[in-house]
Copies of this chain bind each other. A is one copy, B any other.
Amino acid sequence: MAGMGSRELLVETMSELMWERGYADTSPRDVRERSGVGQGSMYHHFATKRDLAVAALERNVADLLPAAFEFDGPGDPMARIEAYLMRPRDALKGCKVGRMTQDRQVREDPVLLAPVARAFAQVHLSWVKVLREAVAAGELRSDLDPERLAHTLMAVLQGGYVLAIARQDPGPFDDARAGALDLLRAAAPSTPNGKNDKRE
């Protein structure tokens, strides 16, 4: 009866704790204390901390992906890029998924790293798609490589978190993404006064 509820609660709590503290610093006992779920119920659902962590990582990935899928919506591609880059994010908390790469035990365990790698691969596909649309719409120069640029823009967000946490200030994160947008706009095929850059 309370079965489903306690499983969900364990996954949710593990997800929060891994984001706050990382995998290594989270013990099964921490999860039980915060969730209020007992030891018997915990081991009924998850034989090991690692099994619980895989479920929590899948949950974090599921939380992250809908945001990237906004790219697939209608409207001007560059406006969708701007909306995705600039939407409110908690710079000092960092990315729920990206953070996991810095956790040694996650990084060194292919099973734990798999959901993280899969999430980044999917976000990359979404970025490539919207960047191709921006090129097709004449908003980005056609000699830019969308596959490459997709990694550049993903790195800006992931690295922006690192800078913000180092300085304990969201400013560098906001600078990093605004600067990326400035560069994308500077990479439009036409000059701001409307002349086309005819190089094709």
B148 touches A175 (CB 8 A): yes
In the assembled complex, the CB of A37 is this many whole angstroms from the nearest CB of chain B, namely: 23
A113 within 8 A of B: yes
A41 within 8 A of B: no
Interface size on A, residues (CB 8 A): 65
Contact mask A58-82 → B, CB, 8 Å, 1/0?
0000000000000000000000000
Q: Which of the 9-residue segments A5-13, A43-51, A166-174 touches chain B? A: A166-174
B101 touches A162 (CB 8 A): yes
Given contacts A22-B102, A163-B151, A180-B152, contact A168 B117 (CB under 8 A): yes
A148 touches B99 (CB 8 A): no
A104 touches B183 (CB 8 A): no
In the assembled complex, the CB of A81 is this many whole angstroms from the nearest CB of chain B, namely: 13
A193 to B153, CA, bound (A): 27
Report the copy number of this chain in the oligomer.
Answer: 2
B182 touches A120 (CB 8 A): no
A187 to B113, CA, bound (A): 36
A183 touches B187 (CB 8 A): yes
Given contacts A121-B167, A145-B182, A184-B183, contact A176 B162 (CB under 8 A): no
Can you give 8 A-B contacts (C-beta < 8 A)?
A150-B179, A151-B163, A152-B179, A155-B157, A158-B159, A159-B159, A159-B161, A180-B183
